[in-house]
């Protein structure tokens, strides 16, 4: 089925992107953690700590955003499948409508073909009903988690604020470092 192939492809792409992104973020994070913490003065230490804070918060927010993208892609894939099923039902109904316009004798002669069309429509309708029922369950679960998502968004806003504050502090510390008259080895 083309719908299943499309969904499978999207799922594979989503998983691969998610895995590659998470691996790269963890690699960078681990590389940063392995570097020795040797500071030449308090300004250097403060700058390094603020940058580490920015890295940690940005990594966390990036991963949260990736999860939101994954959820959106999954919903889009579901919507595409729904659309295709409904379009197929609609097209079959139009064909049967045209057959009805051709008269009673046409329906009588081609009854077997039209019955097969109706059976296919019934199958697709059943599949759509099951999919819709699952969407109702998912929507209820999403409604329950909506409060958690709202809280997450608030926390994300606070985290972005912290990143901004850390960037500002880094700029201030860097300005102090530039103005320092001490000759430190590089």
- For every one of its 186 residues, what pLDDT tens digit does the chain have, with 9 covering 90 and above? 445 666 676 667 666 766 777 677 767 666 666 566 687 888 888 888 888 888 888 888 888 888 888 888 888 888 899 999 999 999 999 999 999 999 999 999 999 999 999 999 999 999 999 988 988 888 888 788 778 878 888 888 888 888 889 889 888 988 888 887 655 555
The encoded tokens of residue 165 equal: 């504050």
Asked, for residue 145, whether it belongs to a domain, the answer is yes
Q: Is residue 153 assigned to a domain?
A: yes
- Is 185 domain-assigned? no
Q: Which of 116, 132, 42 is nearest to 79 (CA)?
A: 132
Task: Classify residue 183: in a domain, yes or no.
Answer: no
- Please choose, from the candidates 118, 74, 73, 79, the residue with its C-alpha nearest in 3D space to the C-alpha of residue 95: 118
| Residue 61 resides in a domain | yes
Task: State the total domains in the chain.
Answer: 1
Predicted local distance difference test score (pLDDT) of residue 177: 85
Query: pLDDT tens for residues 25-42?
Result: 767 666 666 566 687 888
Residue from 106, 103, 19, 31 nearest 66 by CA = 19
Domain that holds residue 139: 2-31+44-84+132-176
For residue 110, is it within any domain? no
Q: Would you say 55 and 166 are in contact if contact means Cβ atoms under 8 Å apart?
A: no
At 182 the pLDDT is 58
Domain for residue 100, yes or no? Answer: no
Residue 162 falls within a domain, yes or no? Answer: yes
pTM: 0.53
Q: How many helices (H) and strands (E) does the chain have?
A: 4, 0
């Amino acid at each position: 089925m083309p719908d299943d192939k499309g969904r499978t492809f999207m799922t594979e792409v989503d998983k691969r992107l998610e895995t590659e992104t998470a691996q790269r973020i963890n690699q960078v994070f681990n590389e940063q953690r392995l570097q020795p913490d040797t500071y030449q003065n308090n300004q250097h230490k403060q700058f390094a700590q603020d940058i580490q804070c920015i890295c940690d918060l940005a990594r966390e927010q990036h991963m949260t955003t990736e999860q939101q993208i994954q959820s959106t892609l999954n919903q889009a894939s579901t919507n595409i499948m729904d659309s295709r099923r409904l379009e197929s039902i609609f097209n079959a109904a139009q064909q049967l409508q045209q057959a009805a316009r051709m008269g009673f004798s046409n329906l009588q002669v081609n009854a077997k073909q039209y019955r097969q069309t109706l059976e296919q429509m019934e199958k697709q309708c059943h599949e759509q009903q099951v999919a819709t029922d699952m969407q109702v369950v998912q929507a209820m679960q999403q409604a329950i988690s909506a409060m958690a998502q709202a809280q997450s968004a608030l926390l994300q806003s606070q985290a972005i604020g912290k990143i901004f504050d850390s960037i500002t502090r880094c700029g201030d510390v860097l300005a102090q470092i530039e103005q320092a008259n001490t000759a430190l080895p590089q």
